[in-house]
């Protein structure tokens, strides 16, 4: 980036939802009017102090914000490099950053008078966060979840049921997150009059990538202020995992104008990028169109979407939010990967050294963050977004250890 020609990050997306060549609104005609309406309502409410006050109140008293910025002294000692700070989104109500967004979108649903919400979910965190806010606001809630993920994340499936949501297993395609999103879109197009679709990440048709980002930016705004207060200066690097990329955008976006702050988005390297068994479209994919937006995708030569692999269900997605595609192309954020093994190692390391059990998704960020910190100096600071807690993954980790619980 050249100093003489600074990029205006607040100017994206444009009026039609484009982040450079990415984003946009690629959906069937039936949905266009609903997206126009959502955009109108969002523009109005995001400028409405009352709406913002209600959102902030809920974040403070229901979610428990601000989440701490924790100096992980023991992990720092173990790694022997830059100081590692953890942004503790795992301490939010429901155990992950997802709730920041579902609170916001459920408020939109309420203002729009929609009695029913639907959502797609991979690991189940977004599904739980949606079911939670739906329970609180008395909204009918149905959550689409790939049949394979229903199996992998039985605990979250039951949590959603307890919260009063109906979980609908999706058996089409690869039976994971992308298929759940297809099915949610089909539901929405059929029930458009009474239904609000709460998308869980910064992807989908405009205005979703923008409004989900705006709701998640509370992460970065807090982290920036907390780092200034605790360390007296800005961090040198930010690290976050990227599936769809909502926790990463939430952390990165408020720092985009801080040129000294490097940013690293960590994709799921699966069994290794070279094996093709991964979920890393920014590292190994090409631009294409899926789920309402143009973005980096994993697709074959004929344009068919490729099945992905990751140990973490929440990163098992062949696309990524369009703003990440743009940030990659302009070089503002570096996109890297961590393999299943590296993530599992980081999961164990953080659990043993700090007594904090990260979600397998977040473990990818921890894995890369440790690697990065090791090659930096002790007077530097790395902030890792600990986007969720690991309770939901205990069965998976135990299974890998050959233990059945």
- Catalytic choice (39, 89, 120, 361): 120
Please answer whether residues 238 and 263 qualify as being in contact, where contact means their C-beta atoms are separated by less than 8 angstroms. yes
User: What are the tokens at 289?
Assistant: 């169109």
What track of x and - describes contact with another protein for positions 271 through 290 (by CB under 8 A)?
---------------xxxxx
Q: Does 172 bind another protein (CB under 8 A)?
A: yes
Binding to another protein, residues 18-47 (CB under 8 A) = 24-34
What mask, x for binding another protein by CB under 8 A, covers residues 188 to 217?
-xxxxx------------------------
CA angle 63, 335, 151 (to 5 degrees): 55
Cis peptide before 105 (omega within 30 of 0): no
**Do 369 and 239 form a contact (C-beta atoms < 8 A)?**
yes
Total residues interacting with another protein, rule: CB under 8 A: 39
Q: Has 46 been annotated as catalytic?
A: no
C-alpha separations of 65 from 53, 68, 88, 124, 200 in Å: 14, 8, 10, 22, 19
Q: Does 302 bind another protein (CB under 8 A)?
A: yes
Q: Is 178 in the site for another protein (CB under 8 A)?
A: yes
Q: Does 257 bind another protein (CB under 8 A)?
A: no
Mark whether 98 is an active-site residue: yes
Tell me the three state secondary structure of residue 199.
Answer: coil
Q: How far is the CB of 41 from another protein (least distance, A)?
A: 16
- Nearest approach, Cβ of residue 28 and another protein (Å): 4
SS3 content of the chain, % helix, strand, coil (to 5): 50, 20, 30
Residues 40, 395: Cα–Cα separation, whole Å: 43
Residue 95 or 244 with smaller CB distance to another protein: 244
In order, the DSSP letters of 214-234 are: HHHTHHHHHHHHHHHHHHSS-
219 binds another protein (CB under 8 A): no
Q: Is 147 in the site for another protein (CB under 8 A)?
A: no
| Min dist. Cβ of residue 391 to another protein (A) | 31
186 touches another protein (CB under 8 A): yes
Q: Which stretch binds another protein (CB under 8 A): 53-61, 84-92, 260-268, 303-311?
A: 303-311
Q: Give the span between the Cα atoms of 224 and 213, in whole angstroms.
A: 16
Q: Which residue is associated with the tokens 């940030």?
A: 327
305 near another protein, judged by CB under 8 A: yes
Q: Which of these ranges, 135-143, 185-193, 345-353, 376-384, lies near another protein under the rule CB under 8 A?
A: 185-193
Catalytic-residue membership of 83: no
Rank residues 184 and 346 by Cβ distance to another protein and give the closer one.
Answer: 184
**Distant-in-sequence, close-in-space partners of 272: CB < 8 Å, separation ≥ 6:** 278, 339
Nearest Cα residue to 265 out of 275, 277, 255, 276? 255
Residue 16, interface with another protein (CB under 8 A)?
yes
User: For another protein, which is the closer residue by CB, 4 or 28?
Assistant: 28
Q: Interface with another protein includes 297 (CB under 8 A)?
A: yes
What is the dihedral angle through the alpha carbons of 247, 13, 180, 243, rounded to the nearest 10 degrees? -30
Q: Is 220 exposed, middle or buried (0-12, 13-18, 19+ CB in 10 A)?
A: buried
Catalytic residue among 83, 98, 178, 371: 98
Active site residues: 98, 120, 387
Q: Using CB under 8 A, list all residues that contact another protein.
A: 16, 24-34, 172-173, 178-179, 182, 185-186, 189-193, 286-292, 294, 297, 299, 301-305
């Amino acid at each position: 980036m050249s100093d003489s020609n600074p990029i205006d990050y607040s100017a994206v997306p444009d009026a039609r939802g484009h982040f450079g060549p990415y984003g946009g609104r690629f959906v069937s005609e039936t949905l266009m009017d609903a997206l126009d309406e959502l955009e109108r309502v969002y523009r109005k409410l995001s400028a409405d102090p009352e709406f913002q006050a209600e959102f902030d109140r809920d974040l403070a008293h229901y979610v428990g914000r601000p989440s701490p910025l924790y100096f992980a002294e023991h992990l720092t000692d173990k790694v022997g490099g830059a100081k590692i700070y953890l942004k503790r989104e795992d301490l939010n109500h429901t155990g992950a950053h997802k709730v920041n967004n579902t609170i916001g979108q459920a408020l939109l649903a309420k203002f729009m008078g929609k009695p029913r919400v639907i959502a797609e979910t991979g690991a189940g965190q977004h599904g739980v966060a949606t079911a939670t806010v739906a329970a609180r606001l008395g909204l009918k809630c149905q959550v689409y979840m790939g049949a394979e993920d229903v199996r992998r994340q039985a605990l979250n499936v039951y949590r959603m049921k307890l919260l009063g949501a109906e979980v609908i297993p999706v058996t089409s395609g690869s039976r994971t997150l992308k298929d759940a999103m297809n099915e949610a879109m089909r539901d929405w197009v059929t029930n458009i009059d009474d239904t609000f679709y709460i998308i869980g990440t910064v992807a989908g048709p405009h205005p979703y990538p923008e409004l989900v980002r705006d709701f998640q930016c509370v992460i970065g705004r807090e982290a920036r202020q907390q780092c200034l207060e605790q360390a007296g200066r800005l961090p040198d690097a930010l690290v976050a995992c990227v599936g769809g990329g909502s926790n990463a955008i939430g952390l990165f976006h408020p720092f985009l104008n801080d040129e000294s702050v490097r940013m690293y988005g960590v994709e799921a390297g699966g069994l290794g990028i070279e094996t093709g068994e991964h979920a890393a479209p920014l590292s190994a994919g090409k631009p294409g169109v899926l789920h309402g937006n143009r973005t980096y995708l994993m697709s074959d030569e004929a344009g068919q979407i490729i099945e992905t692999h990751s140990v973490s269900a929440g990163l098992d997605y062949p696309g990524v939010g369009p703003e990440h595609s743009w940030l990659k192309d302009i070089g503002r954020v570096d996109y890297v990967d961590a393999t299943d093994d590296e993530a599992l190692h980081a999961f164990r390391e953080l659990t043993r050294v700090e007594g904090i059990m990260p979600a397998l998704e977040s473990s990818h960020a921890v894995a890369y963050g440790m690697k990065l910190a090791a090659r930096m100096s002790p007077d530097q600071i790395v902030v890792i977004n600990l986007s969720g807690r690991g309770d939901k993954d205990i069965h998976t980790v135990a299974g890998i250890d050959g233990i059945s619980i």
